[in-house]
Amino acid sequence: MGLTYVQLKQAIQDWTENDGTEFTTATGSGIAPIDVCIANAELRIMKELDLNAFRKTTTIASGTATSGVAMPQDLVVLRFLRIQNGDMLYLKDETFIREYTKNPTTGTGTPQYYSYQRPGTAYTTSNRPTNIIFAPTPGVDTTCEIGYTYHVPGLSASNANTYLGDNCQDTLLYGCLIEAATFMKDPQQLTNYQQLYERAVQTLGVEEQVRMRNTELYKGELRTLGRLEGDR
């Protein structure tokens, strides 16, 4: 049985025995602490578990500019980047990229490495790395395949159901309780919730591996059947 937004909020309050307004009502930030707990837990799960449901693959054009190309706006974790139908690119520090191609306008070629481009000023939520830069600088416009974990809209008053709420309810609940215990400054319960969360994550990881293995076996059977049909 899944958890809707309303059900999850109630479960958090029941487990923590906290229905105080300081926890459930929006403050000067405009967001209630309980909603911050939910959002933080969702993001943690997306980062820690490489679930197939959160994977996305698309293409980007490298261009020939030295200023880099924009990353997908919904990117949370970059899983891989490669030349389409070609080699993988290797992640390096931006300093390495700059040193590798001291004169990016003349030192062009097929990209082998990439890095996140740091913003020109201090990091903020609205001023964070949004570009990828390559080395060597692409000599021609090159299509690259990018695989990443994408940001899935979380539970909220306007989004009652999500994949995590429907399929990973125990992991989501325990993750929220960790955040709640941190907010409530309750180290003993924090330890208990962390143990529950880790067990749930382990179970979820095993289930994901089984699903992936079954999918691969199914695809293998289809390929085998296809060959047999072709031999007839």
Mean pLDDT by 10 residues, the chain (232 residues): 92 96 88 95 89 90 76 89 92 88 74 82 56 87 91 92 93 97 95 96 84 59 49 50
Q: Is the peptide bond before 136 cis (omega within 30 degrees of 0)?
A: yes
Assigned token pair, 227:
């060959």
The whole-number pLDDT of residue 23 equals 95
Does residue 203 form part of some domain?
Answer: yes
CB proximity list for 84: less than 8 A, separation 6 or greater? 59, 142, 143, 144, 145
Q: Domain check: are 43 and 91 in the same one?
A: no
The whole-number pLDDT of residue 127 equals 52
Q: Residue 88 in contact with residue 118, Cβ under 8 Å?
A: no
Assigned token pair, 112:
């082998």
Judged by DSSP in three states, 138 sits in strand
The whole-number pLDDT of residue 97 equals 87
Q: Domain check: are 140 and 72 in the same one?
A: yes
Number of compact structural domains in the chain? 2
Could you list the residue range(s) of the whole structural domain that residue 215 is in? 5-51+168-223
The whole-number pLDDT of residue 144 equals 92
Quote the CA–CA distance of 53 and 210 in Å, as a whole number: 14
Phi and psi based region of residue 68 (left: phi greater than 0; alpha: psi -120 to 50; beta: remaining) = left
Phi, psi of 78 (to 5 degrees): -80, 120
Of the candidates 150, 182, 211, which is a domain's last residue? 150
Judged by DSSP in three states, 40 sits in helix
Question: pTM of the prediction?
Answer: 0.74
Q: Domain check: are 59 and 146 in the same one?
A: yes
The whole-number pLDDT of residue 225 equals 44
